[in-house]
Amino acid sequence: MDVGIVSYGAYVPRWRITPVEIGRVWGTDGEAISRGLNVKSKSVPSPDEDVITMSVEAARNLMRRCKVDPKDIGAIYVGSESHPYAVKPTATIVAEAIEAAPDLTAADYEFACKAGTAAIQTCMGLVASNMMKYGMAIGTDTSQGAPGDALEYSASAGGAAFLIGTADIAARINETYSFTTDTPDFWRREGEMYPRHGGRFTGEPAYFKHVLTCGKNLMEIAGTSPEDYDYVVFHQPNGKFPLRAAKMLGFGKEQTTTGLLSPMIGNTYSAAVLLGLASILDVSKPGDRILAVAYGSGAGSDAFDITVTEQITELRKDPFLLVSNMISGGKYLDYATYAKFRGKITLAEGSR
Amino acid sequence: MAIPRFWRETPSRYNLFASKCGNCGEVHFPPRFVCPSCHRKSIGRMESIKLCGTGKILSYSVVHDAPEDFEMQKPYIIAIIEMKDGVRLTAPIIDCDEPDIGIGTEVEATFRKLGEEGKAGVIHYGYKFRRMNRTPPEK
Ligand SMILES: [Zn+2]
């Protein structure tokens, strides 16, 4: 039985800030950091946006694309590392806001930046075993770096939702494979506002080891090689890592450009690989083949081998829903306004 | 605002559920149990309908002296919106500055944080409006 993506929806907040502006405040060479990361600007949510509102926006954009009855959605899973509540699932509010409630199961997922792809795999199992008609997987984050920390130059916000089913598939998931180890490259303890990372440790033994092994093993399982793919998308904590991973696996620039959004919007964490995949689905043709590899610190990778079907054109009738439309036209903030928006300023008791 | 009241209003705050009088056809938002025009004749004939979520600005003003929950967003725009379905409602217009809008500007409903009961309390969500950024639904 075929399992795949029935619809998808993206959301990127409207505000932006540049590494140059952040560097101006901390007395560092923002220009050099921007070049080093290959991040020219990052997205910033409004003060009234959080993982719940952005998940709802992405889920509603998904529903606007297709004719699926929300009552046929049997599961909603939201992957994030910045859920507004420690206890009270984001997924419950999304379910209510798209009128899928109350006859469904829902939960929040956590696996650093790959919680959204873990949710896709869960939904694949649920629909393939006929437990439900559709399952919705969402990856959304509004992650923050501590002021002045290296992460502050790239940590951004965005969300993407995927509807997984067995009928009217717009992109068939041929294979999926995961690779998981215990690697302490990046973490945040309960109650802490900002995450910590293992500095240089985040590169080789973490991101590259997992992404490359996972991508390679998936292609072995699928019996494919890099030239079989029209597009490839990796987790993108900056604009450099995914390009290097692509090169090391044997992919060329023309395969990586479409799914690489971090140079424009920064690292959207749980949404990163999903927004990249959405922007590929926005332009791909029936028959195109896509390799998507997520990465989550801690650490693990999920890889997907995907083939686009004829049905894809049915989902692209509204140009407003395209990722490119959400990325263009961003409004730039200065650091002071950004700090206010992100709650980085300590206020007197009783005000907020 | 008390949690129970906010919770009861979830369908109208999240999804713009309104009421329609089965006697005269009038639409009310927020929803009513009895039609203000037909009174007794409407009892048992009120139906729940979902507004389409789009409309245009009838009038607006810029708020500089904001209540506590909106302190971080001032100045912000609050507008009276005429929905495509014929009802009027008042809501903030977000993601734009005053020069971007005017009377007649087409707007659509979004889902945003409305406020929270302190740092440890419940968070309230619901509709705010922004300039139309999608193909309007048929209807
Ligand atoms: Zn009436």
Residues of A with Cβ-Cβ distance to B72 under 8 angstroms: 47, 340-341, 352
Other CB atoms within 10 A of residue A107 CB: 15
Mean pLDDT (whole number) for A83-97: 96
Element (H, E) at A60: helix A51-65
Q: Which one, of A9, A4, A2, lies nearest residue A275 by Cα?
A: A9
A225 interfacial to chain B (CB closer than 8 Å): no
Q: What percent of chain A has pLDDT over 70?
A: 97
Other CB atoms within 10 A of residue B23 CB: 15
Q: How far is the CA of B28 from the centre of ligand 1 (A)?
A: 10
Q: How far is the CA of B17 from the centre of ligand 1 (A)?
A: 17
Q: Six-digit token pair at A26?
A: 């901390």
Asked if residue A201 has pLDDT above 80, the reply is no
Q: According to the model, what pLDDT value does residue B1 have?
A: 55
- Alpha carbon of A90: minimum distance to chain B alpha carbons (Å): 11
CB contact under 8 A, A46 and B94: yes
Q: Which of B9, B72, B133 to mutate to test the interface with A (most CBs of A within 10 A)?
A: B72
* Residues A46, A31 contacting (CB under 8 angstroms): no
Q: Among the listed ranges A135-144, A183-192, A204-213, B114-123, which one has the minimum average pLDDT value? A: A183-192
Confidence band of B7 (pLDDT split at 50, 70, 90): confident
* Residues A188, A31 contacting (CB under 8 angstroms): no
Q: According to the model, what pLDDT value does residue A186 have?
A: 82
Indicate if A349 belongs to the active site: no
Element (H, E) at B130: strand B123-131
Mean pLDDT (whole number) for A64-82: 97
**How far apart, in Å, are the Cα atoms of A12 and each of A9, A330, B5?**
11, 9, 32
Confidence band of A343 (pLDDT split at 50, 70, 90): confident
Q: Which one, of A155, A136, A128, A130, lies nearest residue A144 by Cα?
A: A155
Q: According to the model, what pLDDT value does residue A303 have?
A: 98
Q: How far is the CA of B37 from the centre of ligand 1 (A)?
A: 5
**Residue ranges of domains in chain B:** 52-131
The tens digit of pLDDT for each residue in A153-171 reads 999 999 999 999 999 999 9
- CATH placement of domain B52-131: 2.40.50.840
**Residue ranges of domains in chain A:** 4-351
Asked if residue A239 has pLDDT above 90, the reply is yes
Distance from C-alpha of A160 to C-alpha of A55, rounded to nearest angstrom:
7
Q: What percent of chain B has pLDDT over 70?
A: 94
Q: According to the model, what pLDDT value does residue B97 have?
A: 81
- CATH placement of domain A4-351: 3.40.47.10
Nearest residue of B to residue A88 by CA position?
A: B122
Determine the residue type at A11: Y
Instruction: Tell me the Cα Rg of chain A.
Output: 19
Asked if residue A12 has pLDDT above 90, the reply is yes
Top pLDDT among A274 and B135 is at A274
Top pLDDT among B47 and B100 is at B47
- Total residues belonging to chain B: 139
**How far apart, in Å, are the Cα atoms of B93 and each of A15, A204, B77, B96?**
16, 46, 5, 7
**pLDDT, averaged across chain B:** 90
N- to C-terminal Cα separation, chain B: 34
Q: Which one, of A291, A228, A281, lies nearest residue A6 by Cα?
A: A281
Residues of A with Cβ-Cβ distance to B95 under 8 angstroms: 14, 46
Asked if residue A209 has pLDDT above 60, the reply is yes
CB contact under 8 A, A49 and B95: no
Indicate if A66 belongs to the active site: no
The tens digit of pLDDT for each residue in A114-143 reads 999 999 999 999 999 999 999 999 999 998
Determine the residue type at A136: M
**pLDDT, averaged across chain A:** 94
CB crowding B79-113: b at 16 or more within 10 Å, else e: bebbbebebebebbbbbbeeeebeeebbbbbbbbb
Distance from C-alpha of A308 to C-alpha of A287, rounded to nearest angstrom:
5
Distance from C-alpha of A130 to C-alpha of A78, rounded to nearest angstrom:
21
Asked if residue A25 has pLDDT above 70, the reply is yes
Asked if residue A352 has pLDDT above 50, the reply is no
A320 interfacial to chain B (CB closer than 8 Å): yes
Q: According to the model, what pLDDT value does residue B134 have?
A: 57
Q: How far is the CA of B86 from the centre of ligand 1 (A)?
A: 14
**A168 φ/ψ sector (left φ>0, alpha ψ -120 to 50, else beta):** left
Element (H, E) at A163: strand A157-165
Asked if residue B138 has pLDDT above 60, the reply is no
A334 interfacial to chain B (CB closer than 8 Å): no
Q: Six-digit token pair at B106?
A: 């087409």
